[in-house]
Structure 1
Amino acid sequence: MPAPEPTPAQSSLPEAASRFGAHVLADAAARACDITAATGGPPRVPSLPEPPPPAALPIAPPPLSVLPAGPPPPAAPLAGPPPPAAPSADPPPLSADLARVLRGPSGLGTSGLRLSPRTPADEPAAPVPGEAPEGRPVPGLYFHPVPEPDPVRVEEVGRRIRSWALDEVDLFPEEWAEQFDGFSVSRYMVGCHPDAPGIDHLMLATRLMVAENAVDDCYCEDHGGSPVGLGERLLLAHTALDPLHTTKEYEPGWAQSLHSDAPRRAYRSAMEYFVRAASASQADRLRHDMARLHLGYLAEGAWAQLDRVPEVWEYLAMRQFNNFRPCPTITDTVGGYELPADLHARPETQRVIALAGNATTIVNDLYSYTKELAAPGKHLNLPVVIAEREDLTERDAYLKAVEVHNDLMHSFESEAAQLAADCPVPPVQRFLRGVAAWVDGNHHWHMTNTYRYSLPDFW
C-alpha cells in the first residue's frame, strides 16, 4: 500500500511525521525522478598522492540526490525561457546508502575520507570547445561534480548583467571591465540555480551577487576598502535594502544618498528587482541575512584594525556571518516558489542553511588562498588562522582546513537528509535540493574560475 500523500505546510509537524518520515521519504523517492541534474551525481574526492588512509576508514555519505523530488509548486510569473528538462533516472531504492545519510556521520573519524585513486570512469570528460576549462579541484576536498552551466543561459545572463552594471547603476569604471568579466558571474549564478524557471529569475540572484561584491570590494577590500569607518558605510548601504522610515523633512537627504556611490546604487536597484518578485517574508528574510553579512564584515574589519589573528573558533564564528548565506537562502525565490516562513524559520532548516553557508565559504578560503597571499596586506582565511594559532606549517594548516570543510559538508548533508525525512512536504524537499545545488554550483565555479584562482603547490 502506498504511503499517504505529503501533508500541506503547517506551523508544526505532527509527531507522526517524525516517526514515519523515513518511510514517506522512501516512497516519494520511489515515485519521483532522481535529482542528479541538481546535485551533480555521486560525490568525488580527488586523491592525495601520499599516503592514503587505511581502507577501514568510513566512506563518505552519498549526495542529497536521495531527497524525493515531489511535485514542484508553480513558478512565479516572470518571463524567460523554460528551464532545461531534467534527465530521467531510475528511482533510488531505500538502501544502506540512504540509511547512512539519514543516520549521518558521527565522531572525529568522519574527516578521514577514503582517498583512493581515481578509476578511468571517475576522470572528467574532455572539455568541450567554447566551454570553460574544468579546472583543478583541491586534492582531498569532498564535493559533487556538476555539468557545465547551460551556455545559452550563461550568455544571456552575462549580457543582461553587464548592461545593468554599466547602464542602470554605473557600477564600475572602464578599467575594471576585465575584472568584472573575469568574475564570470553569469556562469556562477546559472550553475548555482539549475531549477530557475527563466532568465528573469536568474537575474534576481545575479544582481544581488554583483551588488554584494561591490560592497565588499569598495568598502572592505580591493578597490579602496578600509576597516576605518566601515561601520558607517555599511549602515548607510544597508538602508538601500532595509529602507529608512523617517520624517518628510529628512527623507530627501536619505533618498539622495542611495545614489551617492556604486555599492549603494547597486544595492538599491538589486533589491528593488528582488522585492517585486519575492513575497514580503522572502524579502525580509534576505534583509536579515544581509545584516548578518554586514556584521561579519565588521568583525573582520575590527581584527584588521587591531592587527589581531583570532582564535580558530572565533574565525569560524565570523565566517558564519561573513559568508554566502544570503545566496542559498533565496533559492526558492529564484526557483519561482516559496518555502513558507514558518518552515524556513524552523531551527532544523536554519541549521541546514547555516552549514551550507559555512561549507561554501571555506571553499572560497581554500581556492582564494594564493590570491589573498599575493595581495597587499594580511588577509585572514582559515589556513592562515590555523597556521598561526595552532603552530602548523602552511601546508599542514591548509590540509586541516580541507578537513574542516569536509566535516561541515558531512554535517550539512546528514542534517538535510534528516530534515527531509522528518518534514516530508514538497516545499521543504525542493528547498533542500535547491540549497544542495547551490553548494555544488559554488564549488564548480571556484574550481573552474582559473582567471581568479589557483591552488598552492602543496602536493
Structure 2
Amino acid sequence: MPDPDAAPVQSSLPIAAARFGERIVAACMEAGTEAGAEAGARPGLPGPPRVPVPAAKTAPPDEAAPANAPGGDLIARHVQDGTAEVRQLGPALERILRGPTGLGTAGLRLSGCEQSPVPVTPVEGTPIPGLYHHPVLPPDPARVEEVGRRIKTWAVDEVQAYPPEWEDQFDGFSVARYMVACHPDAPTTDHLMVAARLMVAENAVDDCYCEDHGGSPIGLGSRLLLAHTALDPLHTTKEYQPEWTASLQSDAPRRAYRSAMEYLLQHSTPSQADRFRHDMARLHLGYLAEAAWAETDTVPEVWEYLAMRQFNNFRPCPTITDTVGGYELPADLHARPAVQRVIALAGNATTIVNDLYSYTKELDSPGRHLNLPVVIAEREGMSDRDAYLKAVEVHNQLMHDFESEAAAVAAACPVPSLLRFLRGVAVWLDGNHYWHQTNTYRYSLPDFW
C-alpha cells in the first residue's frame, strides 16, 4: 500500500514546458506547411514543431499507475469514431495522436495505451441505450480502497463535511471509484486525493447551499461568494482579517473548500491553481443562474439552459487532469481558443450525462428540478420520452464535436503536454460515464425503451 506521507512525484515536464511555452505556440502556428500536406489536413492546420522533450521522472514501483489503466490511446480512438472530416486527416494524424515516442517520453503516455481492450467482464448498471460513450476497464481496486479510506477520514474527521446521518449517502456516492476511474494516470495516491478532496468539497457546497440538505436559491449569492474566498483568499486590512479567517471554519462547505484548496496548492503550480479558481467562479455563476430561475419558477429556453449548463457543470474536474497527472499544460497552451473550445465541449457533454442518469432521481425529489429533458419537454412541446431521447442526441452531438475538435487541436499543435492533456480529458469523460452507469445506489434509468 502506498506510503501516505510520501512526497508526490513531480514530473520535470512542467518546468521545461513552461520555459518553452511561448516558442512552442509560435512554432505550432508557423510550422504547418510540410506536416499539414503530409497529413492531408485542412488548410491552415500547422504541423508539429521540433521541440526537445526532457525525460519525465517516473513514480516508484509501488505508486506507479496500474498497468491496466483504462482509456488507452483515446484521442486516436475517438478520431476513428468521429466525423468523416477528421478521419480524412490520414495516417500522419494517427501517428501524431499516438503520442510522443523515443527516449524519455514513456511518462507522457497512459500505461497500456497500446493494449486498451474494451472490458470483457460486465460492469454494474446499464448504459443509456443510444448514448455515445466508450467503455473502460474497472478502476484499480487497490487504489479505490486506499483513496476511499483516506477521503472518508478527511471528510469525516478533518473537515466534518457530513454529519453521521449522511454516512450512507457519502458511501453511496463512491467518490474513490469515481476519481480512480477518471484519473488512471495519476502517479500517486496523493495526486488522486487532490481530485477526491475537491470533488467532495464541491458536492458539499452543492448539497448544503443549493440542493438536498438545506440548500435554497434565497441568499445563495452571498453564501457562494463567501465560500469562494476559501479558494480565492480575501486580501483585507489587519482589523478585519481575523473575522474572515474565522469564517472559513463556520460551515462544512467552507471547511471543505479551504482544506481541499490548500491540498491542491501543494501539488499544483500557481498557474494551475489560478485556472481552477477561474473554473470554480464559472461554476458558481451557473449555480446563481439556476437559482434565479428557481426563485421565479422560470423554465428557460433550451439554448438558455445549455448556456447555464456550460457554467454549472463538471468543468473544474477535468481542468485539473494535468495536476492530478503530475505534469502541467502551460498556461499559454491552455488559453488558446481552440483548446478552450475542446474543454468547454467536454464539460458540456459530461454534464448532460449527469442530466440523463439523474433524471428519475430528480423526478422523485421535491419541487421541480431543471434538466435537459425537462426543459426540452416544456419548451418544445414533446412527450417526456421524446424529450429524453432528444437530450441523448444533444449529448451525442457534443461528444462528436469534442472528439473532432480535440483531434484537430492535437494535429495542429502536437506538443507532448497538450497531447497528454487531451487524452486525460477524454479519459475523464469516459470515467465519468462509467461512474454514472455503475452508481446504481444513486441512479436508475427511466422506462423509455
TM-score by length of structure 2 reads: 0.81
Provide closer, same or farther for how the CA distance between residues 36 and 325 of structure 1 changes in structure 2, counting only shifts above 3 A.
Answer: closer
In the alignment, what sits opposite 2:9?
none
Provide closer, same or farther for how the CA distance between residues 87 and 411 of structure 1 changes in structure 2, counting only shifts above 3 A.
Answer: closer
Which digits, 9 at most, give the CA deviation of each residue in 1:276-321, with x for residues without a partner? 1110100000000000000000000000000000000000000000
Provide closer, same or farther for how the CA distance between residues 430 and 294 of structure 1 changes in structure 2, counting only shifts above 3 A.
Answer: same
- Aligned partner (choices 153, 156, 165) of residue 143 of structure 2: 153
> For the residues of structure 2 that align with 1:73 and 1:178, how far apart are their CA atoms?
43
> For the residues of structure 2 that align with 1:429 and 1:141, how far apart are their CA atoms?
26
Whether the 8 Å contact between 1:17 and 1:422 is mirrored in structure 2 is no
* Amino-acid identity (%): 69
Number of residue pairs the alignment of both structures matches:
391
User: 2:120 aligned with 1:125, yes or no?
Assistant: yes
> For the residues of structure 2 that align with 1:17 and 1:455, how far apart are their CA atoms?
49
- Aligned partner (choices 383, 387, 397) of residue 387 of structure 2: 397
> For the residues of structure 2 that align with 1:244 and 1:9, how far apart are their CA atoms?
31
In the alignment, what sits opposite 2:423?
433
Using the TM superposition, give the Cα deviation of residue 382 of structure 1 relative to its aligned residue in structure 2, in angstroms: 0.1
Letter in 2 for 1:404: V
In the alignment, what sits opposite 1:69?
99
**Aligned runs of 1:355-370 on 2, under 5 Å?**
355-370=345-360
Using the TM superposition, give the Cα deviation of residue 60 of structure 1 relative to its aligned residue in structure 2, in angstroms: 11
Which digits, 9 at most, give the CA deviation of each residue in 1:374-422, with x for residues without a partner? 0000000000000000000000000000000000001000000000000
Provide closer, same or farther for how the CA distance between residues 418 and 38 of structure 1 changes in structure 2, counting only shifts above 3 A.
Answer: closer
Whether the 8 Å contact between 2:279 and 2:316 is mirrored in structure 1 is yes
Using the TM superposition, give the Cα deviation of residue 18 of structure 1 relative to its aligned residue in structure 2, in angstroms: 3.5
Whether the 8 Å contact between 1:18 and 1:423 is mirrored in structure 2 is no
> For the residues of structure 1 that align with 2:192 and 2:170, how far apart are their CA atoms?
18
User: 2:104 aligned with 1:86, yes or no?
Assistant: no
In the alignment, what sits opposite 2:26?
13
> For the residues of structure 1 that align with 2:246 and 2:289, how far apart are their CA atoms?
29
Letter in 2 for 1:276: Q
In the alignment, what sits opposite 2:344?
354
> For the residues of structure 1 that align with 2:20 and 2:310, how far apart are their CA atoms?
32
Using the TM superposition, give the Cα deviation of residue 86 of structure 1 relative to its aligned residue in structure 2, in angstroms: 1.7
Task: Identify which range, 144-153 or 6-15, moves more after superposition.
Answer: 6-15
In the alignment, what sits opposite 2:184?
194
Letter in 2 for 1:86: G
In the alignment, what sits opposite 1:3?
none
Runs of 4+ with >4 A deviation? 21-25, 40-43, 58-62, 71-76
Partner SS state of residue 279, structure 2: helix
- Aligned partner (choices 52, 56, 72) of residue 37 of structure 1: 72
**Aligned runs of 1:99-138 on 2, under 5 Å?**
125-127=120-122, 133-138=123-128
> For the residues of structure 2 that align with 1:65 and 1:221, how far apart are their CA atoms?
44
Gaps of 5+ in 2: 1-16, 40-46, 51-68, 88-92
Using the TM superposition, give the Cα deviation of residue 59 of structure 1 relative to its aligned residue in structure 2, in angstroms: 8.2
Letter in 2 for 1:9: G
> For the residues of structure 2 that align with 1:382 and 1:440, how far apart are their CA atoms?
20
TM-score by length of structure 1 reads: 0.80
Gaps of 5+ in 1: 1-5, 28-33, 44-57, 77-82, 91-120, 128-132
Provide closer, same or farther for how the CA distance between residues 211 and 382 of structure 1 changes in structure 2, counting only shifts above 3 A.
Answer: same
Using the TM superposition, give the Cα deviation of residue 10 of structure 1 relative to its aligned residue in structure 2, in angstroms: 2.4
Whether the 8 Å contact between 2:72 and 2:115 is mirrored in structure 1 is no
Partner SS state of residue 236, structure 2: coil
User: 2:371 aligned with 1:377, yes or no?
Assistant: no
